[in-house]
Structure 1
Amino acid sequence: MDILNILKHQLEVVDDSVSTKQLIDQLVSTGSPEQPVRLVELDNVVKRHCEWLHHLPRVHPFYNVQCNDDSRILGTAVLLDCGFVCASRAEIGKILSLGVDPNWIILSQPEISVELLKFARRKSVKLMVDSEDELHQIQQYYPEAEILIRFNFKSTQATDVDNYDPDRKCQRLLNLSRELALNVIGWCWSNIEPDCSNYSILYDVLRKGREIVDYAMILGFSFRLFSIGGGFAGGKDANVDQFAVHINQGLDEFFPERDGLTFIADTGKLYSAAAVTVVTAICDKQIFQNPKLPAQIERIFYYLNYRVRAGDSKEGVKPLVWKSLRNCRAMCKADVFGPVGDGFVCLERDMVLPELNVSDFLVFEDQGCSLRGVSVRLDEGSSPTSVVVIRRTMWEYLRLFANTSHPRQLIEGSKYLQKEWKIDKLIYE
C-alpha cells in the first residue's frame, strides 16, 4: 500500500514558519461556534518519535492502536517503522491493511475469545497472555503462536499475592506452557496503574524480568522479545528522559547482551496525546451571584459543545482562553461542563477564568488520547471537524521514510531531526 499517497490526500502541508497559534487563529476566524475542531499536527508524532530514539536507542516503539486510531496518525507511525499493539480484530485488520508485517503486531486482549484467537492465527500475530485459561485455549486453537507472558509488578507489597507476585505467577504460567508445548518467546510487564508516574519502578521491572528469563532458561525456553509496557505520560510536557534513565540503567545492568534480544514499549499515548488540539466554543453559561453581594459574581458554569479530556496533567482540564484578557471581564471561579448523552458532565471545578461570553472560544491541548486507553471517539457532543496538517520539512522526511527500509538511520543521521524534537506549548498573545 502506498501510505504516502493516501496521506497526501488526507492532510494539508503547511510552511515550516506556520505556528500552531497561527493555525488556531485561522480556525477561530473562519470556524463556527457550533462546530468544534480537532487540529491534528503530525509533526508532533514525528518529533516524539525522534526524541524516543535519541533517549532509548535499545527500545523499539510499538504504537497502541487503542490510544488513537486516526488513520493519519497510524500511517505516520507505519512510516516511522513502529510496531503495533492491537486489542481487537478490527484493529489488527486496520494495521494489516497499511502493509505492516504481522511479526510487528501483538494482540493484547485479556480473555481472548475463540473467534479472535482463530483470526489471530490466520494473520500470524503474536499474543500477550496472563492466565492458565488463555494458555489452554491457545494450545487448542493457535498452538504455534509466539507468546509473551504478562506479569504484574509493583514496588509496594500487594494484597493479591497470587496475581501481583511475578515469581509465583510467571513460574506457574511457564510451567504450564512447557506442559502444553507452547512457544513462549518473552515477557510483558503489565502496568497496574493506568499511568506510571513512579518511573523508577522500570528499573525494578527489568531486574525482575531478568529473573524470569533465568527461570525460563531452566525450563528450556529461549526468550528474545520483552515488552516494558506503557503508561508513559503523553502531552506536550512529557519528558522521555524522565523514564529513559531508569530503563537504560536496567538494560545496561540486567541485559548487557544485545544480540538476539529485542525490547519494545507501548508508545501510543506518548505519541498521540500532543498531536491533537481541540478548539471549541462556549455554547451556554450560567451565572451565580453572591447572595451577600448581589453585584458580585460568585461562580459561572460554562457549557461546551465538545467533551474534552483531562490528559495527564495533575492540573486537570486546563483551557486556553482564545481572547485577549483586555477584552474580558473580571476573573472569577468557574466550572466547565461537557456534553454526555442528553446532558452535561462537569469536566473541571473551581477554575479561575475571566467572565466569557457565549460563542467565545476555548482551546485545549493534549487531546489526542483518552486517559482510559480507549480510542478517541467523536460522539461526545457535536462531531468535530478534523484538520490534519504537517510542516513541509517533516513531510519531506516522511517521503524519505516511505522510500527506505531503514528510517531510523535517516533520523539518527539528520541534524535537523536531532534538534527539532521539542514540542512547543501554546501561548495566547
Structure 2
Amino acid sequence: MAALDPKRYDINILENGGTVREFIDKKIDELSLADCSEPFHVADLDDVYKKHLTWSENLPRVTPFYAVKCNTTPAVIRTLSALGTGFDCASKAEIELVLSLGATPDRIIYAHTTKPEAHIKYARARGVHMMTFDNQDELTKIARCHPSAKLVLRITVDDSSSLRRLNLKFGARPAAAGGLLRRAGELGLDVVGVSFHVGCMCSDSRAYRRAIADARHVFNTMGFQMSLLDIGGGFPGSDNFPLKFEEIAECINVALDEFFPPDCGVQIIAEPGRYFMETAFTLAVNVFAKTVTMEDAAEHNEGDPDIVMMYYVNDGLYGSLRFFINHPEFGERRYRSVIWGPTCDSMDRLTDSCLLPELQVGEWLLMDATGAYTLSVSSNFNGFERATVFSVVTPETWRALSGVKNVVCLCIKHYKKKKKKKKNSYKFFFKFCQKFQ
C-alpha cells in the first residue's frame, strides 16, 4: 500500500525494538531542548491494527464502518482504509476527508438521518449513495437532491442499558416503518436496509439481540427486497469497561445466525468508533503551575488540616480532556489533589479530589486511553493550542500495512506476540475513563 506515506501522514516507525513510551520520552526531551511544553498525543497504529484483527476474529460476518466523528487523525483514517474498513460519515467534511485519504465511495455510509441539502448534493456528486433516514421530510429532501441514493431506514431500539442514549434524537419507531417505506416507494426511492444504534457504551449485550430481532421484524413486514443490516456502534474500547467486547460479539453472532443466517443474502455492517480509538492514544500534558492550600479536615474525622495540592496542566475540558482520573496506587506519601485545565473557566477541572504524590512545575503527566471523542471535540478556547498528534508504528505492522507477502501469517504472528513491558519513565501514569452525564 504505497499510498500510506510515513512522511505525508507524520507516521514515525519505531526502529530497533523501540516502544511507544520510549518515543514519548524522546519527544519530551526534544520539546524541552526547544523550550516548548505544549501538550501532545501519541497514536499507536499497532493498537488500531490489533483491534482490527480482534474484530475480524470475533465478528467475522460484520464489516466495520469506522465512525469518523470519533477521531479524524489522518494517519488513523489511512490505516483503517488500508485494512479495508468502511466509514460512517455524518457530514460533507467527513466524506471529503475519508475520500482524500484513500476510501472509495462504495465504502462510505452517510449515517446521519437529518442532512443539509448541500451535503446530500455533495454526496451525490462524489458517488456516495448509501445514506440513512428516519422521517418523511428527509425522504422528500433526498428525492429532490439524490434520487438514486441507496437508503437505510434507522429504527429506534431499546438503549436503556447504555451510558449515552441516542434513540431520543434519532430513529423511527418500528411501528412507523411501514408508512415511511410506502412513502419512499411513492417517491421512487430505493430502500436497501435497516439500521439501529443501541447507544454509546452499552452495558447489556442482550440489547443487541433485541435490536437485531426488531430489525428482522421490519425486514419481514415491509415488502422491500432489502440487503443490508447496520447494527450501529456502542462497542467498548478498553478492558476497563464491565462488559467485554468478546461478550457482545458472542451475543451478536448468535442473534445474527438466528435472525439473519449466512445464506440469507443480507450484508452486515457496524459503526464502531470508540472501539478502534480509545486505547490507541496517549496524551502528554505539562504541569505549568501549582498552588498549595490548607483545608480544615475536621469533617473528615482527622485532627490536622489537610494539605490540598492544586495543579494546572496545559490541556483540559475545552481541549482533549472531558475525562476524570481513575488513579493508581503510589508507594509514597500522597496528598489530596485537584487538577485544573489551562483556561480561565472554573468548570475546566479534570478532577476535584484524588490522592497523588507531590508534583512539581515542569513535570509531565501521561494520560492513557485518550483517543475517543477527544481531539474531535477539542477547541482553542482562550487561545490555548490543540494538542499535536504524533503517530507511531512498529516495522512489523508497517510491512503488513504496506502489503508484504504472507501478510496473513504476519498478522497472526504479530497479534499473538507477547507485549514487552513498557519502560516506566515517569512517576505518574494516569488511566482515564469517559465521563458521562
Interval of TM-score (by shorter of Structure 1 and Structure 2): 0.7 to 0.9
Preserved contact between residue 72 and residue 376 of structure 2 (Cα < 8 Å): yes
Preserved contact between residue 50 and residue 418 of structure 1 (Cα < 8 Å): yes
Deviation at 1:243, TM superposition (A): 1.1
CA RMSD of aligned residues (A): 3.3
Residue 121 of structure 1 is matched in structure 2 by 124
Q: 1:136 to 1:224 in 2, by over 3 A?
A: same
Q: 1:242 to 1:230 in 2, by over 3 A?
A: same
Deviation at 1:155, TM superposition (A): 6.4
Preserved contact between residue 156 and residue 174 of structure 2 (Cα < 8 Å): no
Residues 1:179 and 2:186 are matched in the alignment: yes
Q: 1:368 to 1:141 in 2, by over 3 A?
A: same
Preserved contact between residue 163 and residue 169 of structure 1 (Cα < 8 Å): no
Residue 138 of structure 1 is matched in structure 2 by 142
Residues 1:77 and 2:80 are matched in the alignment: yes
Gaps of 5+ in 2: 428-437
1:149 corresponds to which of 153, 162, 166: 153
Deviation at 1:18, TM superposition (A): 2.2
Preserved contact between residue 320 and residue 364 of structure 1 (Cα < 8 Å): no
Structure 1-normalised TM-score? 0.84
Deviation at 1:320, TM superposition (A): 7.2
2:325 corresponds to which of 306, 314, 317: 317
1:208 partner letter? D
Preserved contact between residue 189 and residue 228 of structure 1 (Cα < 8 Å): yes
Residues 1:263 and 2:275 are matched in the alignment: no
Deviation at 1:176, TM superposition (A): 1.7
SS in 1 for 2:287: strand
1:392 partner letter? P
Aligned length: 407
How many Å separate the matches in 2 of 1:234 and 1:137?
36
Residues 1:348 and 2:351 are matched in the alignment: yes
Residues 1:285 and 2:267 are matched in the alignment: no
Residue 205 of structure 2 is matched in structure 1 by 199
1:304-329 C-alpha deviation (Å, 9 max, x unpaired):
10124356xxxx334679xxx67x6x
2:380 partner letter? D
Residues 1:395 and 2:398 are matched in the alignment: yes
Deviation at 1:342, TM superposition (A): 6.3
Preserved contact between residue 334 and residue 358 of structure 2 (Cα < 8 Å): yes
How many Å separate the matches in 2 of 1:89 and 1:267?
20
Gaps of 5+ in 1: 404-408
Preserved contact between residue 285 and residue 303 of structure 1 (Cα < 8 Å): yes
Residue 253 of structure 2 is matched in structure 1 by 248
Greater shift, 414-423 or 42-51, is seen at 414-423
1:388 partner letter? S
Residues 1:5 and 2:10 are matched in the alignment: no
Preserved contact between residue 235 and residue 274 of structure 1 (Cα < 8 Å): yes
SS in 2 for 1:91: helix
Residue 304 of structure 1 is matched in structure 2 by 313
SS in 2 for 1:3: coil
SS in 1 for 2:233: coil
How many Å separate the matches in 1 of 2:51 and 2:288?
34
1:167 corresponds to which of 159, 174, 177: 174
Deviation at 1:400, TM superposition (A): 1.1
How many Å separate the matches in 2 of 1:144 and 1:10?
38
Preserved contact between residue 9 and residue 74 of structure 2 (Cα < 8 Å): no
Preserved contact between residue 282 and residue 302 of structure 1 (Cα < 8 Å): yes
2:245 partner letter? V
How many Å separate the matches in 2 of 1:124 and 1:113?
17
Q: 1:114 to 1:165 in 2, by over 3 A?
A: closer
1:364 partner letter? M
How many Å separate the matches in 2 of 1:165 and 1:142?
21
Preserved contact between residue 78 and residue 102 of structure 2 (Cα < 8 Å): no
Deviation at 1:27, TM superposition (A): 3.1
Residue 31 of structure 2 is matched in structure 1 by 31
2:325 partner letter? V
1:45-67 C-alpha deviation (Å, 9 max, x unpaired):
10100000010000001111111
1:188 partner letter? S
How many Å separate the matches in 2 of 1:174 and 1:424?
55
Deviation at 1:344, TM superposition (A): 6.0
SS in 1 for 2:17: coil
Residue 406 of structure 1 is matched in structure 2 by none
SS in 1 for 2:352: strand
Preserved contact between residue 38 and residue 387 of structure 2 (Cα < 8 Å): yes
SS in 2 for 1:279: strand
How many Å separate the matches in 1 of 2:344 and 2:152?
39
SS in 1 for 2:181: helix
2:366 corresponds to which of 360, 363, 368: 363
Residues 1:333 and 2:336 are matched in the alignment: yes
Structure 2-normalised TM-score? 0.83
Greater shift, 203-212 or 233-242, is seen at 233-242
Q: 1:302 to 1:40 in 2, by over 3 A?
A: same
SS in 2 for 1:170: helix
Deviation at 1:79, TM superposition (A): 0.4
1:142-161 C-alpha deviation (Å, 9 max, x unpaired):
11110010111106699x99
Deviation at 1:331, TM superposition (A): 0.8
1:301 partner letter? M
